[in-house]
Amino acid sequence: TDLMKLELAIIENIQREDLSPVDRARAFDRLVKEFNFKHHEIGKKVGKSREYVSNSLRILSLPEYIINALSENKITEGHTRPLMMLIDRPQEQETLLKEIIFKKLNVREAESIARHIAVERARKLIDQELIDIEDQFKEKLGTRVRIEKKDEGGRVTIDFFNKDDLRALLERIAADGGVSQQTSEVLVENAES
């Protein structure tokens, strides 16, 4: 049938040595969309692993300008991996592409940059969470609170101006049920002695 001929033509095309990564990904994509093939089925037909097919198809999730750069051999298929790591950071993705092209970065160098950006981003997210908690402390206690993070745990510093201020802080914490009235009296006595 015509459909089988088309399937065969696509598969023969995929097996060509000179096929570009983008054309190969588009051919895999046709097999998925027009023939409802699963990635492992395509792999079997072309003598490749399921991962190979999935990784190839992932190229098509990149922005058009990166796909074009790959088509025009400005970057290699290996370079798409680090670019993929920044899929949710379009500006950083674009900057990395320019660096790959203009600084002629190899795949390992590009991966190192992408990993560094990902780690920095995770660190900022953690820091942002600490900033939010600091703000909640400030609101609750009505004074400046600093949180210092260490490798293991950290330290919370609460500013106060005098003993009255300290007593008021303790009463505020006690009122929230954080410290019993008895304990708060002992702590204030200790603070005063």
DSSP state letter for 144: -
Alpha-carbon distance of 74 to 170, in angstroms, equals: 64
pLDDT of residue 160: 80
Q: Render each residue's pLDDT in the chain as its tens digit; 193 residues.
A: 888 898 999 999 888 888 999 999 999 999 999 999 999 999 999 999 999 999 999 999 999 999 999 999 999 999 999 999 999 989 999 999 999 999 999 999 999 999 998 888 887 777 888 888 888 888 888 888 888 888 788 888 888 878 888 888 888 888 766 555 555 555 555 555 4
Cβ–Cβ < 8 Å for 144, 169: no
Output the six-digit token pair for 94: 């674009």
| Short-list 126, 104, 124, 99, CA closest to 114 | 99
Alpha-carbon distance of 105 to 174, in angstroms, equals: 59
Output the six-digit token pair for 148: 């210092």
Output the six-digit token pair for 178: 């954080």
Place of tokens 């993070």: 149
The half-sphere exposure of 91 on its side-chain side, counting CA atoms within 13 A, is 0
141: Cβ contacts below 8 Å, ≥ 6 apart: 158, 169, 172, 173
Output the six-digit token pair for 179: 């410290």
